[in-house]
């Protein structure tokens, strides 16, 4: 008997809520990093600013995905 793994079913029922939570967590991290910037040295400031740019890109991407998921939900995908 083989030990094959079955893929998990695609459960998108809570994707909008999960993505909203991820966006909020990322915004919180972005805000906290702004406080850290006040006392950061030059190298640390550059590292944080680069990370914040990536956070902002992630937020935009997650918001676009939220729109897609919400539209799918409206079309009846569960």
Per-run averaged pLDDT (10 residues), the chain, 78 residues: 72 89 98 94 96 98 96 82
Q: Which of 17, 15, 8, 22 minimizes the C-alpha distance to 72?
A: 15
For residue 4, what pLDDT is reported?
79
For residue 12, what pLDDT is reported?
75
For residue 7, what pLDDT is reported?
81
Rounded to two decimals, what is the model's pTM? 0.79
- Quote the tokens at residue 21: 């939570």
């Amino acid at each position: 008997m083989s030990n094959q793994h079955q893929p998990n079913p695609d459960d998108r029922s809570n994707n909008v809520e999960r993505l909203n939570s991820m966006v909020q967590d990322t915004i919180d991290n972005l805000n906290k990093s702004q406080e850290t910037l006040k006392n950061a040295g030059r190298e640390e400031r550059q590292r944080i600013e680069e990370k914040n740019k990536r956070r902002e890109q992630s937020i935009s991407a997650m918001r676009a995905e939220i729109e897609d998921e919400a539209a799918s939900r409206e079309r009846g995908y569960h």
